[in-house]
């Protein structure tokens, strides 16, 4: 009897450990963008130490940064490595050129989760780049070492969408099909993600009503029902993500995952940029991090989180444009936080971000329209260009009951296993 009880306890303990391992490893990683349009950045070793002191698991580099990569060796922080738009023609020119680039720039001392060939290239304003994108991706894939798990992709702006109003109507611009469809085929064939840069901030900038701000910041709001799907939305991020998902599904790429390569909120802006405040930046980024860690997913894909790279680690003081363009940094260049969103690695070293419950509230006064059109420069490009973002965007809201199902199931199973362990020990 004692041996059986020991065996039962061992089996249950093993199941419990497996569940806990699943819970730990299935949580999507929070990444951050490392932009370099600045003349005051800290030394790479200091930046590496800062990253190691956080729960950030991935860093996006817009171009090779060998000194920072060397400083990150042994940290378990992975890299999303960027190929600058200006290097794409060279990679497309021949397999040998791609092999030379790979040998010179792909790190071997840190894991490289993916390589982005270009940034927002299809909306860069340079029509000569689009036909060279796929050959560059193909050549770089062939240049990877045998057995490599690194994925080859490219990053898009939301301007590739012709519609996201409502999310279920998400669709890509038809005039991009010649360049985009072959890239989507490549992603599907090679198990690579579709990478894109959504910015709810720009939606608010074009519609500054208080209810719009609440939608963008994951705060209580009346709720928005997508008439096409019947789904209800509570935040702009989920609606933009589901519009992208709908566009992919409509073209037959339901198996292609999505990675959010950039998203963020400025903490400072010009006089006419009322939404760019510390409080709003803290609310958006902090609530987004908590939303991702909860793994509730979106209304269209409940229980499935998405890898997301916050923009950005530091301000970039040499960027042009409005003040907001130079004010997206989570940290100052003296390594102190501009505001806290709960990214500290050790428990108790930073206050967790406060998430306002996403319970739909009764509408008061004017009913929000639920939609907006963005028209703003997109931050992040290392070419120093302001890329127009003109696609329509859906202002979300609504209930979250379906989305909590996966998390509830995991908690129930955890409780069951704990009870079984307790009974066995009696």
Where in the sequence numbering do the catalytic residues fall?
Answer: 120, 262
Instruction: State the Cα–Cα distance between residues 65 and 79, nearest whole angstrom.
Output: 10
Task: Say how far apart CA 199 and CA 273 lie, in whole Å.
Answer: 15
Of 312, 219, 326, 220, nearest in space to 273 by CA: 326
Residue 45 neighbours by CB distance under 10 Å = 13
Q: Phi and psi (nearest 5°) for 302?
A: -65, 145
| Angle, alpha carbons 358-359-361 (nearest 5°) | 120
What's the length of the chain?
426
Q: How many CB atoms within 10 Å of residue 367?
A: 9
Which residues have C-beta within 8 Å of that of residue 217, sequence separation ≥ 6?
235, 280, 283, 284, 287
Tell me 72's DSSP state.
Answer: T
- The CA radius of gyration of the chain, in Å to the nearest whole number, is 22
Residues 6 or more apart whose CB falls under 8 angstroms from that of 338 comprise 267, 278, 281, 329, 330, 331, 332
Closest by Cα among 217, 320, 207 to 274: 207
Q: Whose CA is closest to 354, among 272, 283, 276?
A: 283
Task: Determine whether 344 is exposed, middle or buried from the number of CB atoms within 10 Å of its CB (0-12, 13-18, 19+).
Answer: middle
Instruction: State phi, psi for 255 to the nearest 5 degrees.
Output: -85, -5
């Amino acid at each position: 009897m004692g041996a059986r009880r020991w065996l039962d306890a061992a089996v249950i303990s093993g199941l419990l450990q497996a569940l806990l391992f699943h819970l730990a490893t299935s949580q999507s990683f929070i990444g951050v963008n490392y932009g370099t349009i600045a003349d005051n950045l800290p030394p790479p070793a200091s930046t590496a130490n800062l990253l190691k002191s956080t729960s950030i698991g991935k860093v996006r580099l817009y171009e090779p940064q060998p000194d920072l990569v060397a400083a990150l060796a042994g940290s378990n922080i992975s890299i999303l490595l960027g190929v600058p738009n200006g290097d794409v023609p060279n990679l497309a020119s021949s397999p040998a050129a791609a092999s030379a680039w790979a040998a010179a720039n792909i790190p071997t001392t840190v894991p490289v989760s993916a390589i982005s060939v270009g940034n927002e290239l299809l909306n860069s304003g340079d029509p000569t780049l689009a036909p060279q994108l796929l050959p560059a991706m193909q050549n770089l894939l062939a240049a990877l070492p045998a057995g490599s798990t690194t994925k080859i992709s490219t990053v898009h702006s939301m301007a590739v969408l012709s519609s996201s109003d409502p999310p279920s109507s998400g669709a890509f611009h038809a005039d991009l099909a010649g360049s985009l469809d072959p890239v989507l085929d490549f992603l599907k064939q090679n198990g690579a993600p579709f990478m894109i840069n959504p910015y709810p901030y720009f939606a608010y900038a074009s519609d500054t009503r208080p209810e719009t701000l609440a939608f963008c910041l994951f705060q209580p709001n009346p709720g928005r029902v997508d008439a096409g799907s019947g789904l209800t939305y509570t935040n702009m991020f989920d609606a933009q993500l589901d519009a992208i998902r709908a566009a992919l599904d409509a073209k037959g790429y339901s198996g292609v995952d999505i990675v959010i390569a950039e998203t963020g909120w400025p903490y400072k802006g010009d006089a006419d940029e009322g939404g760019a405040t510390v409080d709003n930046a803290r609310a958006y980024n902090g609530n987004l991090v908590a939303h991702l860690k909860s793994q509730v997913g979106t209304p269209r894909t409940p229980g499935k989180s998405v890898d997301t790279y916050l923009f950005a680690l530091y301000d970039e003081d040499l960027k042009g444009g409005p003040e907001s363009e130079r004010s997206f940094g989570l940290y100052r260049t003296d390594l102190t936080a501009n505001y806290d969103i709960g990214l500290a690695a050790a428990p108790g070293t930073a206050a967790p971000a406060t998430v306002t419950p996403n319970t739909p509230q009764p509408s008061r006064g004017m009913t929000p329209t639920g939609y907006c059109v963005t028209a703003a420069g997109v931050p992040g490009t290392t070419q120093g260009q302001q890329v127009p973002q003109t696609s329509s965007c859906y202002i979300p809201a609504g209930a979250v009951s379906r989305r909590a199902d996966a998390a509830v199931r995991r908690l129930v199973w955890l409780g069951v296993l704990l009870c079984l362990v307790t009974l066995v020990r009696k």
